Structure 1
Amino acid sequence: MSNLSPFHLAIPVDNLEENRVFYRDVLELSEGRSSDHWVDFDFFGHQLVIHLKEKNRLEEEAINPVDGKQVPIPHFGVVLDMKTFKDFSKKLIQKNVTFIIEPYIRFEGQLGEQATMFFKDPSGNALEFKAFDDLTQLFAK
């Protein structure tokens, strides 16, 4: 896993400027190239692109119960080291981000123990950030 390739993910947003501010100022991601219809961001070393597109929102969100919490489907995010996760979650709390699932330790004391948190961008895209004390447990069964 030491030579991971950066991923590229493009997601729809229904208000480009509102989401640009969210990803740039709230999540503190560096902005790359842009046009009047899309913006690139450095998403912890990966390329995230927000594209302006009217989005059909589902009347009822899809969820999946995990560890007693209601996890939104779909969602995306990145695995951070534990220090970065803790620092990042503190910043989000200070910026009054509304969490779907507040930062906590999932599967505590079990194989695959991890820190996790979920929240949405202004267009309703669900994000999950997680961290492991032991990254070798990322795919542990």
Structure 2
Amino acid sequence: MSDITPFHLAFPVTDLAEARRFYGEILGCPEGRSSDEWIDFSLYGHQIVAHTAGEVSRKHHNPVDGHDVPVPHFGVVLPWAEWEALAARIKEAGVKFVIEPYIRFKGQVGEQGTMFFYDPFGNALEFKTFKDMGQLFAK
């Protein structure tokens, strides 16, 4: 894979202090600029912005490989060791998984490690990994 331009994603939260704890302390995202209404974080080099908003409601799911995947969701594809370390950190922090870390599409094209969990505001996150990053868009 070539170098990738960072993406930008703004998402709703109801409490900036809790967003700092979850994204900054648990996920390890360095904080950038902020105001009384939003906080920039670096999610593995990508700019995500927590904006104060009303309650977040996420009730949609799609079946994928025998699991109900929450939609919408966001996250990052990580190198295998970083994905495993993040899974351990999430478990240690007591965050409940929607889908526990597991290998999806085992033995098939696009085999990947994946995990899903919600932030404290109901935003769904997925982090995944591939032993072969060349399989990211394989059919």
TM-score, normalised by the number of residues in structure 2: 0.96
Matching of residues 1-141 of structure 1 within 5 Å: 1-55=1-55, 57=57, 61-141=59-139
Contact 2:14 2:121 in 1 (8 A): yes
**Aligned partners of 1:57 and 1:92: how far apart in 2?**
22
Q: Distance in 2 between matches of 1:116 and 1:86?
A: 10
Query: Which amino acid in the other structure matches residue 48 of structure 2?
Result: L
Structure 2 unaligned regions, length at least 5: none
What whole-Å deviation, never above 9, does each CA across 1:55-84 have from its counterpart, x for those lacking one?
Answer: 3525xx110000100000100001001111
Q: Is the 8 A contact 2:13 2:56 kept in 1?
A: no
Change in 2 beyond 3 A, CA 1:56/1:120: closer
Shift of 1:130: 0.1
Report how many residues are paired: 139
Query: Amino acid of the residue matched to residue 36 of structure 2?
Result: D
**What TM-score, normalized by structure 1, do the two folds share?**
0.95
Q: Which runs of 4+ in 1 moved over 6 A?
A: none
Identity %: 55
- Post-superposition Cα deviations, 1:9-39, rounded to whole Å, max 9, x if no partner, equal 1101112211221101111111111100000
In the alignment, the residues of structure 2 paired with residue 11 and residue 55 of structure 1 have an alpha-carbon distance, to the nearest angstrom, of: 12
SS in structure 2 at match of 1:24: helix
CA distance in 1, matches of 2:89, 2:56: 31
User: Aligned with 1:83: secondary structure?
Assistant: helix
